[in-house]
Structure 1
Amino acid sequence: MNITQEKTGNLNAVVKIKIAPADYTERVDKAIKEQAKKAQLPGFRKGMVPAAHIKRMYGKSILVDEINNLLNDTLSKYIADEKLEVLGQPLPKTDDEKEFKWDNTDEFEFDYELGLSPAFDVAISSKDKFTQYVVKADKETLESRIKNIRRSYGKMTNPEVSEEGDVLYADFTQLAADGSVYEGGIANTATLRLDQVADKKILKTLVGLKKDAEVTIDIQKALEDAAVIAKVLNISEDDAKELKANFKLTVKNINRLEEADLNQEFFDKLFGEGVVTDEAGFRAKITEEVESMFTQDADRKLSNDIYEQFLAKHNFELPDEFLRRWLKATNEKLTDEELAEGYDDFAKNLKWTLIENKIIKDNSIEIKYEDVVQAAKAKIDMQFRMYSPSPLPEDQLAQYAVQFLQQKENANQVFEEVKALKTFEQIKSVATLEQKEIDYDKFIALDKR
């Protein structure tokens, strides 16, 4: 067997593999004998089919399979032995002039295109400067979080008169153009959350209502969202999008979620017995929790700033034409338009992956299984804290994490997140970070720019 490599550009190469009968005959004969042992053919007992008969019937297909297996093994070994850093996978070159007899006497030659990873260095120093924002809870954000927590532990009441934030249980009846009930029209009984009403003028007509009160509303103008309209009227979303009609809303009941009182019983439910004893302590705890969540947002922005700056700093080339062909070859449904629109983002993410891998390798950074488990636990804990500030018990959190990681897709995702985290930690340990306090509302505005 003869293998040669020819550079066709800075980041492109062609590997030529020549295979003689001596390279594949033994493999093919062995495969034929194994097939004969397993074959069940009319006129022969199982395992007693002559190898010559199998060769006559299936020899060509077996030869094709073994040549393909030999090529894959040979190419993989060659890339590993030569320490070639390839991007994507090798692409076979088609040559219409080459014709093979496939009769076990052929000398085969196959060519494979390779896209090579560029050689580059990643320089990290104190000259790399980034702003590390310390996000503080502004009054509006804090009050909103406190209100949501108090409502989560509150109780449902049925007041006589509706207010903003209430839920109306009502009959909805479609009206004709003249205001009369539309015969054969839509009629349904459902709940309507007043915080879903988009039009402020319509919202005012729904505040101050009592049981049995009737109001006419333009359903599209009131709710705007086809999914909400569909749920309220019990129709499909497609029908909801096309619906243009007024509805008579008749109040059957008013529901209100009252906020929990700021008392010791409430504090103990949230934080454990005796941890918080007054409103000041409660607000301090919620502020701490909210600003802890803001820390994640600030870390996310810092990571994004590092990502953008390091991509700009390490502006190396990729074998773009090869990668475009590889993407088309491995994604049959990918159109030329989709490729043109998405390639720049693909190339950007690939460059970052190469930078990331270089930092991991240069600094001998290990990613252990315990790191992945801890990251999964943190992810699950954060999801639960969105609904309750009370943490999950450690044993339960660990159990959820193990179950989560049993799915390969989840495990790969968390592994990549840990890898990214360790990369950013390495950069931050060397670069210069300048801390700056900022209110949450100003941070959000900054982050949207």
Structure 2
Amino acid sequence: MNISQEKIDNLNAVVKINLAPADYTPRVEKAIKEQAKKAKIPGFRPGMVPPAHIKRMYGKSILVDEVNHLLSDSMNNYLEQEKLEVLGQPLPKRGEEDKEYNWDFNDDFEFSYEVGLAPEFNVDFDSKDKITQYVIKVDDETLESRIKSIRRAYGKMTNPDVSADGDVLYSELVQLSPDGSVFEDGISNTSSVRLDQVQDEAIKASLIGLKKGDEVTLDIQKAFGNDAAKVAGLLKIEEDAAADLKSNFKLTVKNVNRLDESDLNQEFFDKLFGEGTVTTEEGFREKITEELETMMKQDSERKLQNDIYNYALNKVQFELPDEFLKRWLKATNEKLSEDELQGGYEDFAKNLKWTLIANKIVTQNNIDIKYDEVFAYAKASIDQQFRAYSQQAIPEDQLAQYTVQYLQNKENANKIFEEVKAVKVFDHVKSVITLDQKEILFTDFNKLED
């Protein structure tokens, strides 16, 4: 066997593999003998089929399989021995499909593969690199909105005589003809219309001050900003049909529902935080502020990571074997259209560049990812998922058991490993660059572009 490499440029190469019968014959003969032991062919006892018979019947297909296996093994070994860092997987060189072989166990084969080479580059972050780290502060508007939301969540449902902003109208909706009459065999449904979801202010005003039994004509598309999903949900129809709907509807109020906010009393505080933890309105507001600040720290961290990502892509400049990678993406995603390839390649290339930069940071700084770190990260993630449904903590031993089961899946384990690696890479970058801390109100933070 002879393997050689022809370097086209710094990012592309062609690897040629020459195989003689002596290279593949031992593998083929071994495969034929193994097939003979397993074969069930009429006229022969199990395990007693002559290898020569198997070779006559299936020899060519076995030869093709074994040559392909040998090529794969040889290529992997060559890349490892030569320490070639490739992107994607080697692809048969264009024009290779025109070669013809007899596949008669005497052929000399020559296969050529295009490979995309990883670029050479350096990563040298230091204190001269400055990135803004936002310290988000709770503004009054956000705090009051959160308090109102919590009080309503623990409030009581009432049925006032007259509707007001924020109420829910339990209503019958009946489709109308263009002349305003009821459309015979048209759409009708009884639904809860939330006034806080009505986007048109004039329509919302027409729904305020209504009593049980009142009727109004509703331009349902205008009311909900042509949101087909919302309209479909209200009318219990398909989303495609909702998008095409032009009719007005007669809204008849069946009931007015109002969720009154809970009183700021000890019973309310105990429900939220446990008995006696909070005893005053001031303490309640402090607790909600702490909760919001914790959430905002996560928002700030996500923003910082995204800014580091973009900063690194701008700072560390290198090229990729773009044409090879596009060909590889097409080869490994048969349903990928040319438009999808061209439209999505830029994002793919950015993510690949970041992966290469992150791997370089790991290598240069001897960053090690230990199993106990992966386990702890997975455990915390699973715990967080359970807490989204219930505030009651899962027993520690049961949570550990769930984590072990989760990580036994190779795909899950690889996913968590990559997430831990990403965290450690970001932590390293943050430790060597200068973080310019800047206080900002939450409302202003939300206006920042990613």
TM-score, normalising length from structure 2?
0.93
The 1:441–1:404 alpha-carbon spacing in structure 2 relative to 1, beyond 3 Å, is farther
Q: Contact 1:169–1:252 at 8 Å: present in 2 too? A: yes
Which residue is equivalent to 1:175?
A: 176
For 1:406 and 1:148, the matched residues in 2 are separated by: 40
Map Cα deviations across residues 172-198 of structure 1 (whole Å, 9 max, x no partner). Answer: 122233333222222222221112212
Which residue is equivalent to 1:163?
A: 164
For 1:155 and 1:384, the matched residues in 2 are separated by: 27
Residues 1:129 and 2:130 aligned together: yes
Once the two structures are TM-superposed, the CA of residue 236 in structure 1 deviates from its matched residue by: 1.9
The 1:299–1:13 alpha-carbon spacing in structure 2 relative to 1, beyond 3 Å, is same
Which residue is equivalent to 1:360?
A: 362
Q: Contact 2:152–2:259 at 8 Å: present in 1 too? A: yes
Which residue is equivalent to 1:429?
A: 431
The 1:139–1:400 alpha-carbon spacing in structure 2 relative to 1, beyond 3 Å, is farther
Which residue is equivalent to 1:20?
A: 20
What SS does the corresponding residue of 1:191 show, helix, strand or coil? strand
Once the two structures are TM-superposed, the CA of residue 409 in structure 1 deviates from its matched residue by: 4.9
Which residue is equivalent to 1:216?
A: 217
Residues 1:342 and 2:314 aligned together: no
What SS does the corresponding residue of 1:433 show, helix, strand or coil? strand
For 1:179 and 1:402, the matched residues in 2 are separated by: 64
Residues 1:190 and 2:187 aligned together: no
Map Cα deviations across residues 296-315 of structure 1 (whole Å, 9 max, x no partner). Answer: 11111111221111111110
Which residue is equivalent to 1:231?
A: 233
Map Cα deviations across residues 349-368 of structure 1 (whole Å, 9 max, x no partner). Answer: 11110000011111121223
The 1:13–1:436 alpha-carbon spacing in structure 2 relative to 1, beyond 3 Å, is same
Which residue is equivalent to 2:304?
A: 302
Q: Contact 1:301–1:447 at 8 Å: present in 2 too? A: no
Q: How does 1:233-382 map to 2 (within 5 A)?
A: 233-379=235-381
Q: Return the letter of the residue paired with 2:69.
A: N
For 1:153 and 1:307, the matched residues in 2 are separated by: 41
The 1:66–1:407 alpha-carbon spacing in structure 2 relative to 1, beyond 3 Å, is closer
Which residue is equivalent to 1:79?
A: 79
The 1:435–1:397 alpha-carbon spacing in structure 2 relative to 1, beyond 3 Å, is farther
For 2:377 and 2:115, the matched residues in 1 are separated by: 36
Q: Contact 1:118–1:318 at 8 Å: present in 2 too? A: yes
Q: Contact 1:381–1:391 at 8 Å: present in 2 too? A: no
For 1:287 and 1:391, the matched residues in 2 are separated by: 22
Identical aligned residues as a percent: 67
For 1:216 and 1:236, the matched residues in 2 are separated by: 22
What SS does the corresponding residue of 1:33 show, helix, strand or coil? helix
The 1:398–1:140 alpha-carbon spacing in structure 2 relative to 1, beyond 3 Å, is farther
The 1:20–1:350 alpha-carbon spacing in structure 2 relative to 1, beyond 3 Å, is same
Q: Contact 2:170–2:190 at 8 Å: present in 1 too? A: yes
What SS does the corresponding residue of 2:304 show, helix, strand or coil? helix
For 1:67 and 1:286, the matched residues in 2 are separated by: 67
Which residue is equivalent to 2:108?
A: 107
Q: Contact 1:217–1:248 at 8 Å: present in 2 too? A: yes
The 1:252–1:283 alpha-carbon spacing in structure 2 relative to 1, beyond 3 Å, is same
What SS does the corresponding residue of 1:192 show, helix, strand or coil? strand
For 1:6 and 1:41, the matched residues in 2 are separated by: 48
Once the two structures are TM-superposed, the CA of residue 239 in structure 1 deviates from its matched residue by: 2.0
Once the two structures are TM-superposed, the CA of residue 211 in structure 1 deviates from its matched residue by: 1.4
The 1:394–1:311 alpha-carbon spacing in structure 2 relative to 1, beyond 3 Å, is farther
For 1:266 and 1:383, the matched residues in 2 are separated by: 26
For 2:96 and 2:191, the matched residues in 1 are separated by: 68
Q: Return the letter of the residue paired with 1:419.
A: K
Q: Return the letter of the residue paired with 2:63.
A: L
Residues 1:145 and 2:146 aligned together: yes
Structure 1: which 5+ residue stretches go unaligned? none
Map Cα deviations across residues 132-160 of structure 1 (whole Å, 9 max, x no partner). Answer: 11000111111111111122222222222
Once the two structures are TM-superposed, the CA of residue 235 in structure 1 deviates from its matched residue by: 1.9
The 1:434–1:333 alpha-carbon spacing in structure 2 relative to 1, beyond 3 Å, is same
The 1:287–1:170 alpha-carbon spacing in structure 2 relative to 1, beyond 3 Å, is same
Q: Return the letter of the residue paired with 2:4.
A: T
Structure 2: which 5+ residue stretches go unaligned? none
For 1:345 and 1:313, the matched residues in 2 are separated by: 17
For 1:337 and 1:142, the matched residues in 2 are separated by: 46
Q: Return the letter of the residue paired with 1:432.
A: T
Q: Contact 1:216–1:247 at 8 Å: present in 2 too? A: yes
299-308 or 412-421: bigger deviation? 412-421
The 1:443–1:333 alpha-carbon spacing in structure 2 relative to 1, beyond 3 Å, is same
Map Cα deviations across residues 57-110 of structure 1 (whole Å, 9 max, x no partner). Answer: 111111111111111111111111111111110112243664322111111111
Once the two structures are TM-superposed, the CA of residue 399 in structure 1 deviates from its matched residue by: 6.2
Q: Contact 1:162–1:254 at 8 Å: present in 2 too? A: yes
Q: Which runs of 4+ in 1 moved over 6 A?
A: 384-388
Q: Return the letter of the residue paired with 1:241.
A: A
For 2:385 and 2:436, the matched residues in 1 are separated by: 30
For 2:267 and 2:372, the matched residues in 1 are separated by: 38
For 1:11 and 1:151, the matched residues in 2 are separated by: 60
The 1:154–1:135 alpha-carbon spacing in structure 2 relative to 1, beyond 3 Å, is same
For 2:103 and 2:60, the matched residues in 1 are separated by: 6
For 2:386 and 2:445, the matched residues in 1 are separated by: 25
Aligned residues: 447
What SS does the corresponding residue of 1:9 show, helix, strand or coil? coil
For 2:61 and 2:386, the matched residues in 1 are separated by: 56
The 1:337–1:182 alpha-carbon spacing in structure 2 relative to 1, beyond 3 Å, is closer
The 1:386–1:290 alpha-carbon spacing in structure 2 relative to 1, beyond 3 Å, is farther
Once the two structures are TM-superposed, the CA of residue 405 in structure 1 deviates from its matched residue by: 5.1
Q: Return the letter of the residue paired with 1:113.
A: E
For 2:8 and 2:336, the matched residues in 1 are separated by: 27
Once the two structures are TM-superposed, the CA of residue 415 in structure 1 deviates from its matched residue by: 2.9
TM-score, normalising length from structure 1?
0.93
